[in-house]
Amino acid sequence: MVNPCVKYGCVKCCVETEMLLLEEDVERIMRTGFEYEYFVVNRDGWLYLKNVKGMCVFNDGEKCLIYENRPLGCRLYPLVYDEDQGIITLDEYCPYREEFKVSRADRDKLFSLIKRLEEERRLRIIQKFEK
């Protein structure tokens, strides 16, 4: 099945993104030739994809320049964790969310991603204060 985002040429999820990055995401993207400072924003111990003019730094307005190496969170989108409700759900802002088939494995991957992001942040904060 073709990803609806690719099928319709939709880049809505790349607008004003607040995509969190795992350290392995950062390393994978850096192996493609991009420098850390080009695409990472470190805020309060969280690593985010950088936005330029309201768009993910890797989106050229039509497509993702690192699609094959995109972060795990981008791969799982539109599956998101709704902090207010404390549930995993399809992002209400995704215009094609009804076309996505979400498996238990996808939900497990997102839950695991959240735990890993939190643990990596915790370790970054500890390292910062140990210096």
Cα dihedral sign, 100-25-49-66: negative
- What average pLDDT does the chain have? 93
Measure Cα distances from 7 to 20, 74, 92, 99 in Å: 25, 16, 19, 11
**In this predicted model, what pLDDT tens digit does every residue of 99-119 receive, in sequence order?**
998 899 999 999 999 999 999
Is pLDDT at 1 greater than 80 in this prediction?
no
Res 62: pLDDT? 84
Tell me what pLDDT residue 67 has: 93
Tokens 């493609």 belong to 32
| pLDDT at 36 > cutoff 70 | yes
pTM of this structure: 0.90
Q: Residue 131's pLDDT is what? A: 67
Amino acid at 18: E
pLDDT at 8 over 90: no
- Tell me the sheet residues that pair with 117: none
**4, pLDDT greater than 70:** yes
